[in-house]
Structure 1
Amino acid sequence: MRRFDFTDKVVLVTGGAGGIGSALCHRFAAGGARCVVVDIDGVRAEKVAAALPGAGHSGIGCDLTQRAQLEGLFEQVAEVHGRLDVLVNNVGMTSSERFDARSVESIEQEITLNLTSPLVATRIAIPLLKASRDARVVTTVSLGGIFPLGETPIYTASKFGLRGAMLAIGLDLRSKGILAGSVLPSATDTRMLRQEAVDGGNSMQFQDPPQQPANVVTAVVSLLDRPRLEAYPRSGESRLVRCAMLVPNLLPRIFPLFRKRGDRGMARYLEELRRRGLARQTDGRWELVEEA
């Protein structure tokens, strides 16, 4: 198997200041890539870029839900680098608010960020990707793009749509010199998951202890080493949820079994966060302890 050579590759990572995004940037930079770290928090993006090994990195603040800002982002990449070798669509959000209590505006925001923005970013990046001799697109989806998460239906909708779109895009762009694939992780120990846990969010994803960002990084690198449409950091979990979806009408019976195990798993995760000094319980309510 030919290993993907990161040397002098221009790699753009959205959500680059987050747990998974920053881990990806460090791995790419260690291999010799020049990373464009993109995050809605420009200060954090710059800090991540400054801490990367090697040279030629940049941190850029960008609200991916705003088309003008997206276009400006890729104009900057074109001006500085003239091409883009790897686009990593990694940005995402979720909410613990139940569907019947959510505002319409929050629904639109989550769909726009999780589903629309990666598609628009990929489309705008096409000319820069075509300027590369070995163009790649990698998108972080989720096992929630296969298995419905009852407590977070908007996240589920966005990830179901993103998975399908990226499968189609991968088929379409292959003949045009751009290889596109997706990584579908299960629950990953990031700030987003910690917030969801303390807010009493979707317990279904805690069937097993959350994986680490490094597991997702390994799956992304494997996708670059051996291009394919999808890769799963935890193959066992992926087989389980794919099998469950062969009989969707049985989900109402299956869900209570998953939920009991998930509730226990989330309770263990919260206690682990307490031990790590990342969460505390005050008057019976959990809250995050912000890292220094």
Structure 2
Amino acid sequence: MNKAKQKAQAGTMQLPNKKVDTIRKEKRKVEFSWYVFLLPSLIGILLFMVYPIVESFRLSFFQSNGTIENFIGLKNFQLVLTSSTFWNTVWNTFFIAFFQIAITIPLGFIFASMINSVRRGQNFFKVIYFLPNVTSIVAAAMIFQFVLHPEMGVVNYALDSIGLPTFKWFSSPSTSKWGVILLAVWHWLGFVIIICLANLQAISSEMYEAARIDGASKIQQWLFITIPNMSGTFAFLLITGWIGGLQRFNEVYVLGGPNGSPARSIQTMGAFIYERGFTGFEFGIASAATYIMFIIILLFTFINLKVSKMNL
């Protein structure tokens, strides 16, 4: 009888443990099913992101035309760093990015402040200004070829009608960069306006009310309340603007081809990499240039972050 009781008690003690084990198994099945759903994305990341990064790093140490490879160590990096063409593309890239940022951020902030002061129709202005940003940059570049055409372009027609000198824009090395800058400002301005407007509407109205009570004018409120509270947004736009500007490729390829015509005046680092890799089939040099561009962007982003933190 005692043994039978002990067996019965042991059976009742084991029931909860079996239930726990069953629950754990079901939970593991559910977790495993989530990993199955994630598997296609993980495979895509490995194939189209991780593998190209690793492969381009390997190719940077080889002389390669896609089929024949020869290990040459750091010679590709030496060839890129001593190439006057490459440093010309670095200058072009920084020149266009600098003036794009220097024009767009102040202009976008001013427009955002004007829209924020409007009581009705804010959504209409948001849509109108943001439309260029959702337009394909390739389509925008093709349109700008007609807008800035030296003879039939709208801009030159407007300048000539008011007695100002006209320009050859994309036909002359001295003005081609400014044509790209105009396109970049037009395309990026809407994004800057939306970001600035979001921050402007997040500033507490109590601060403005206290300033009005103290007798501060609208300009003083804008200078001493609005602008200081926008410092984080300005830092974000500055960093993202430089990162995007240093990777510029699409519009300059449409406007000037892989060699940045006329006379390589608008060839950027991205276009240089494309030209060497997919036009000259010098994949080793293109890979080395890619990692040099990555280091330049990384260093410049780090400097921007440090400067931005000092000003915040």
- TM normalised by structure 1 equals 0.30
If you compute each CA radius of gyration, which structure gives the higher value, 1 or 2? 2
Q: Relative to total residues, which structure has the larger strand share, 1 or 2?
A: 1
* Greater length-normalized contact order (CA 8 Å, ≥ 6 residues apart): 2
TM-score by length of 2: 0.28
